[in-house]
């Protein structure tokens, strides 16, 4: 191993091969569920260095965990505890290589922080719509690695749909340049789509060509109290009719989720409507004008009130108020963490079946674990719920997690399957859900996934044990 470390120091510079000191930023996952031990954290500066590092590791049979901002929620970006894996951090590769206004694309390196890309696009007069609460620290490489979703999927799609091309270092250390920026290219298997969402198990994304959009003339946000989830779904239907493509966000939040924000962040000064069971956050992006967007929004909310879908609502007066409303939504995961350890589920269900799913699964969990607290919120417009389970109020959260996690997961995931849903809507599989995937994914799909993994990474050196488990072939 010493020879490999010496070689890595030659390849990327001694300052960028970290072996001593506090490496917790790279070794511990964001939720602090798992702490691994890396042989080294290696921080290459460019694609050629990434390729050289991969080749050196392949020769010595050392496995690689690619890492961006380490904000993933499924324990996929940190090393195991053997001290034999390297963490390959893309953080130094953070250049915007090109901005092509006529093609409506930008080509960026994998380590670019998402928020800096939104800002770079805006500076050039465009919108880069990918948006999620971790945008201040997650990277575009990690977003593509996990096929991240976020709050704008309803209108613009997830990371996969925003991506036109990739540059990838393969498990053999070769560089594939697929940064075409083409919107049409039917020349065989879509390699880009193989790597997007593969969570670092097939190769390392070093750069990407991403879609840009015109900046909207106005963006308005509203907060509405709704009497039930059925009414929230009805409001979504009305919003589609009234706003069309202008509907760029539709988030739902349960009363308990919002009460946690009120409890842990009492300084939030927005109408939480804590006396109603659900609230909805809507966003209307308009290409015409703010007056037009406001009139559209007001007509929608009037109709929704007439039909009983909405009991009360406010439309943000200005950008600062809109940010405050979004901030409340984005504070839910943080407030939940303040409340204590919890069992997270990032699931998707056909929108029409969500109310029935929540009613029956809430009842099932209450019957099995009296007093259990359910933190429900998410991207209702995409059929994506964060269906999280917190210990009873007087319970011991770590003990609850230890004793009930497997049981709770089985109840929730069985229900998800019965409703035709997915056990991972946007966070991915990592190592946290690898066993669940083996249980719930069809054997045919799993076999196809294993064939792809074995073909692209025959030594099983790319983030092994994540997404799909295979043995190294013949090594
Ligand atoms: P990391 O955590 O570093 O890595 C994630 C995975 O991608 C790992 O498997 C890693 O090996 C792989 N990877 C990283 N970089 C590369 C690369 N260059 N090439 C190949 N593989 C790579 N996700 C959503 O989808 N929607 C949300 O709304 C959302 N909200 C969040 C809110 C908070 C507060 C937090 C902490 C997380 C949230 N997430 C959300 C999780 C989300 O997956 C990550 O924030 C983000 O997409 C991961 O980016 P990252 O750079 O931190 O990746």
Q: Atom 21, ligand 1: which residue's CA is nearest?
A: 200
CA of 195, closest atom in ligand 1: 20
pLDDT value, residue 473: 62
DSSP 8-state class, residue 78: S
Per-residue pLDDT at 123 exceeds 90? yes
d(CA 208, CA 160): 11
| Stretch 241-260: mean pLDDT | 95
pLDDT at 316: 93
Residues contacting ligand 1 via CB (< 6 Å)? 30, 65-73, 76-77, 90, 110, 132-134, 138-139, 141-143, 145-146, 148-150, 199-200, 204-205, 333, 426-427, 430, 463, 466
Distance 72 CA to ligand 1 centre (A): 4
Mutate to test the pocket of ligand 1, among 29, 43, 77 (most ligand atoms within 8 A of CB): 77
pLDDT of residue 475: 45
Q: What angle do CA 203, 209, 210 make, to 5 degrees?
A: 115
pLDDT above 70 covers what percent of the chain?
Answer: 99
Spatial separation of the C-alpha atoms in residues 212 and 214, rounded to whole Å: 7
Which atom belonging to ligand 1 lies closest to the Cα atom of 334?
34
On the CB side of 448, CA atoms within 13 Å amount to 6
Residue 148 Cα to ligand 1 middle (Å): 7
Tell me how far the alpha carbon of residue 389 is from its chain's centroid: 19
Q: Is the pLDDT of residue 450 over 90?
A: yes
Q: How many of the other CB atoms lie within 10 Å of CB of 140?
A: 31
Distance CA 114, CA 151 (A): 14
Q: Give CA angle at 96 (90, 101), nearest 5°.
A: 145
Calculate how far, in angstroms, residue 306's C-alpha sits from the geometric centre of ligand 1: 41
Question: What tens digit of pLDDT does each residue of 153-208 get?
Answer: 999 999 999 999 999 999 999 999 999 899 999 999 999 999 999 999 999 999 99
Question: Which residue puts its alpha carbon closest to atom 46 of ligand 1?
Answer: 143
Contacts by residues 238-243 (CB-CB < 8 Å, ≥ 24 positions apart): 238/300, 238/303, 238/304, 238/307, 238/309, 239/282, 239/300, 242/296, 242/299, 242/300, 242/303, 243/284, 243/296, 243/297, 243/300
Main-chain dihedrals φ then ψ at residue 249, nearest 5 degrees = -155, 140
- Over residues 270-323, the pLDDT tens digits come to 777 888 999 999 999 988 888 999 999 999 999 999 999 999 999 999 989 999
**Looking at ligand 1, which atom is closest to the CA of residue 90?**
18
Q: Alpha-carbon distance 359 to 230, whole Å? A: 11
- The CA 386 to ligand 1 mean position distance, Å, reads 16
Average pLDDT of the residues of the chain:
95
Give the mutation target among 79, 111, 145 for probing the ligand 1 site: most ligand atoms within 8 A of CB: 145
- Which class for 118: exposed (0-12), middle (13-18), buried (19 or more C-beta within 10 A)? middle
Give the Å distance between the CA of 114 and the centre of ligand 1: 10
DSSP 8-state symbol, 459 = T
pLDDT of residue 45: 98
In the reported structure, the alpha carbon of residue 70 is separated from the centroid of ligand 1 by a whole-number distance in angstroms of: 7
Atom of ligand 1 nearest to the CA of 66: 11
pLDDT digits (tens, 9 = 90+) for 384-443: 999 999 999 988 989 999 999 999 999 999 999 999 999 999 999 999 999 999 999 999
The best mutation among 63, 74, 142 to test binding of ligand 1, ranked by most ligand atoms within 8 Å of the C-beta, falls on 142
Q: Which domains does the chain have, with CATH numbers?
A: 2-89 (3.30.43.10), 96-214 (3.30.465.10), 218-333 (3.30.70.2190)
**Numbers of helices and strands, H then E, in the chain:** 16, 19
Report the alpha-carbon distance of residue 258 to residue 331 in Å, rounded: 9
pLDDT, tens digit, for every residue of 318-374? 989 999 999 999 999 889 989 988 999 999 999 999 999 999 999 999 999 999 999
- The residue contributing the CA closest to ligand 1 atom 10 is 77
């Amino acid at each position: 191993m010493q020879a490999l470390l010496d070689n890595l120091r030659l390849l990327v510079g001694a300052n960028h091969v970290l072996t001593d000191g506090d490496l917790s930023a790279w070794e511990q996952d964001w939720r602090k569920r798992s702490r691994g031990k890396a042989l080294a954290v290696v921080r290459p500066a460019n694609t050629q260095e990434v390729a050289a590092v991969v080749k050196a590791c392949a020769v010595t049979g050392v496995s690689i965990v690619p890492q961006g901002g380490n904000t993933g929620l499924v324990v996929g970006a940190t090393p195991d505890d053997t001290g034999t894996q390297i963490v390959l951090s893309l953080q130094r590769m953070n250049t915007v290589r090109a901005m092509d206004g006529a093609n409506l694309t930008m080509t960026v390196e994998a380590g670019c922080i998402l928020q800096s890309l939104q800002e770079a696009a805006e500076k050039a007069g465009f919108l880069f719509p990918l948006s999620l609460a971790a945008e201040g620290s997650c990277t575009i490489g990690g977003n593509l690695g996990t096929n991240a979703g976020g709050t704008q999927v309803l209108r613009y799609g997830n990371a996969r749909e925003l991506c036109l091309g990739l540059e990838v270092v393969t498990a053999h250390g070769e560089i594939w340049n697929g940064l075409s920026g083409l919107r049409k290219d039917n020349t065989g298997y879509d390699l880009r789509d193989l790597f997007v969402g593969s969570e670092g198990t097939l190769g390392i994304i070093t750069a990407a060509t991403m879609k840009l959009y015109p900046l909207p003339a106005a963006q308005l946000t509203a907060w509405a109290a709704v009497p039930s989830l059925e009414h929230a779904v009805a409001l979504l239907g009305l919003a589609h009719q009234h706003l069309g493509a202008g509907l760029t966000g539709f988030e739902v939040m349960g009363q308990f989720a919002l009460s946690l924000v009120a409890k842990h962040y009492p300084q939030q000064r927005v109408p939480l409507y804590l006396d109603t069971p659900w609230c909805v956050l809507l966003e209307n992006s308009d290409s015409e004008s703010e007056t037009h967007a406001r009139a559209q929004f007001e007509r929608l909310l009037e109709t929704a009130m007439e039909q009983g879908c909405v009991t009360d609502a406010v439309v943000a007066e200005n950008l600062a108020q809109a940010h405050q409303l979004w901030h409340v939504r984005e504070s839910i995961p943080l407030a939940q963490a303040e409340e204590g350890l919890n069992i997270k589920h990032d699931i998707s269900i056909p929108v029409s079946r969500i109310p029935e799913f929540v009613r029956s699964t809430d009842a099932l969990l209450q019957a099995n674990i009296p007093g259990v607290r359910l933190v429900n919120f998410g991207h209702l417009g995409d059929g994506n719920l964060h269906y999280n389970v917190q210990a009873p109020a007087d319970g011991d959260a770590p003990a609850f997690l230890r004793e009930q996690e497997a049981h709770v997961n089985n109840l929730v995931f069985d229900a998800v399957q019965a409703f035709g849903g997915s056990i991972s809507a946007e966070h991915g599989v990592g190592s946290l859900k690898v066993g669940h995937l083996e249980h719930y994914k069809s054997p045919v799909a799993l076999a196809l996934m294993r064939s792809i993994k074995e073909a692209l990474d025959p030594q099983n050196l790319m983030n092994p044990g994540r997404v799909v488990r295979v043995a190294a072939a013949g090594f």
